[in-house]
Structure 1
């Protein structure tokens, strides 16, 4: 199942990002088979990060949640998330 994870960060998350960035990127690389696309969200070009978005291919919502909870960036006091099942509009593969 394809799932979108939408993350919302508190302002304090910026410092956590600085401290754990490499571990987070290593985690994403290690989980590329299930985290297909990921990246940070900003309110404006060049602004501070306010969240993130992942497109995942997982067996269940429970699996998506388990992956998120293993991410070095995930600290419940600093980052919340919601999961949505996502259906792709076109069958063709798209590379972004």
Structure 2
């Protein structure tokens, strides 16, 4: 069952995001089998908005929670808020999935 994880960075923590980015990407590359999509949220001008979206395919909310809690961004204290919701995949990459 897919889950959407949305994160919000603590205010004025862009330097921490940049510091942890390489570790974060290494972690994600080790979890590719779970990732349907993920990326940073951006402002309209393309600048970092401070947070991200992950869509992962795991069986339980607990597994989704464990996924995000193992992310170096989480471990490093970057996030102010994390929200996890179940997600129904209806369309993906332009294809109907139901």
TM-score class, shorter: 0.7 to 0.9
1:34-87 superposed Cα distances (whole Å, 9 cap, x missing partner)? 122110002322223321001100010100100100100114853121011111
Higher strand share: 2
Which moves more between the two structures, 53-62 or 6-15?
6-15
Residue in structure 2 matched with residue 82 of structure 1 by the alignment: 83
Residue in structure 2 matched with residue 28 of structure 1 by the alignment: 28
Runs of 5+ consecutive residues of structure 1 not aligned to the other structure: none
Runs of 5+ consecutive residues of structure 2 not aligned to the other structure: none
1-structure distance, mates of 2:68, 2:30: 13
Residue in structure 1 matched with residue 11 of structure 2 by the alignment: 11
TM-score normalised to structure 2 length: 0.83
TM-score normalised to structure 1 length: 0.84
1:54 aligns with 2:51: no
Indicate the SS of the match to 2:74: coil
1-structure distance, mates of 2:87, 2:71: 21
CA RMSD of aligned residues (A): 1.8
Contact 1:35/1:55, CA 8 A, preserved across alignment: yes
